[in-house]
């Protein structure tokens, strides 16, 4: 697995559907573009109150403006946690002094 693969795989949100099921959120390149576009629309038009959003596990859900903004915070946390992990592992590889150490560094 790579950093990009892990990012694109998506994540489980803290948001739930009406049955209390946590939303599984896709986050491939198209999903990221859709998040950006929708966030811009919310920021540009304060009369928008909700959005229908696709999930990986429960289909379409309606998210309020606040829920969507919370979700975009979660997407940023998801992405940056993977990027920071990559950087930490890269630094471990760069400071390793032997092959065995490098072989034991795993994503």
Per DSSP bridges, beta strands 11-16 and 50-54 are unpaired
Number of domains the chain contains: 1
| Burial track 44-59 (b if 16+ CB lie within 10 A, e otherwise) | eeeeeeebebebeeee
Q: Distance (Å, rounded) from C-alpha 35 to C-alpha 41?
A: 10
Among the listed residues 24, 15, 19, the one whose alpha carbon sits nearest the alpha carbon of residue 64 = 15
Q: Residues 22-47: pLDDT tens digits?
A: 999 999 999 999 999 999 999 999 99
DSSP state of 19: T
Range of the structural domain that residue 21 is part of: 3-103
Tens of pLDDT, residues 93-104: 999 999 888 888
């Amino acid at each position: 697995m790579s950093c990009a693969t892990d990012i694109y795989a998506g994540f489980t949100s803290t948001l739930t559907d009406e049955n209390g099921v946590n939303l599984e959120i896709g986050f491939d390149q198209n999903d990221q573009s859709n998040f950006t576009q929708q966030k811009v629309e919310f920021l540009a038009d304060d009369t928008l109150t909700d959005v229908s959003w696709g999930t990986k596990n429960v289909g379409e859900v309606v998210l309020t403006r606040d829920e969507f903004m919370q979700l975009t915070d979660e997407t940023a946390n998801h992405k940056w946690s993977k990027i920071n992990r990559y950087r930490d592992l890269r630094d471990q590889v760069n400071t390793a002094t032997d092959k065995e150490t490098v072989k034991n560094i795993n994503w």
